[in-house]
């Protein structure tokens, strides 16, 4: 009987701990979606730039990050700042730094107000 109670108790702890780790707030889900899109867009800009350089074009590409500002919510009373990948390419941006990256983000519906340029 005691063993059954121990096993049941351990099973409850396992279920509770696993389910609590799986919960993401809507803000965190949005950040993860934007972060994934930012990575994909940075890679896309990099690949296009590499292809143009291979064809003899002269360009400069720069990888950096841009701030993603989370507003206060029930859990946090102050703003939180995180970052996502950001890449510029002089040949793709046509005089407007980050234009190609922003266009890619827009196509993925990930160019959100939380991004602070």
Res 1: pLDDT? 53
Res 7: pLDDT? 47
Res 57: pLDDT? 92
Res 20: pLDDT? 53
111: left (phi over 0), alpha (psi -120 to 50) or beta: beta
pLDDT along the chain (117 residues), means of 10: 49 50 85 98 97 93 95 77 97 96 98 94
Res 21: pLDDT? 59
Separation between Cα atoms, residue 65 and residue 27, nearest integer Å: 19
Res 25: pLDDT? 85
């Amino acid at each position: 009987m005691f063993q059954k109670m121990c096993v049941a108790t351990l099973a409850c702890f396992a279920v509770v701990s696993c389910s609590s780790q799986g919960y993401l707030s809507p803000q965190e889900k949005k950040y993860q979606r934007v972060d994934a899109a930012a990575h994909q867009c940075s890679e896309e800009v990099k690949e296009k730039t590499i292809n143009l350089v291979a064809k003899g074009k002269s360009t400069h590409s720069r990888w950096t990050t841009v701030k993603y500002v989370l507003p206060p919510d029930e859990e946090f009373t102050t703003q939180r700042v995180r970052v996502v990948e950001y890449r510029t390419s002089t040949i793709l941006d046509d005089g407007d730094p980050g234009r190609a990256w922003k266009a890619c983000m827009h196509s993925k519906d990930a160019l959100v107000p939380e991004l602070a340029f």
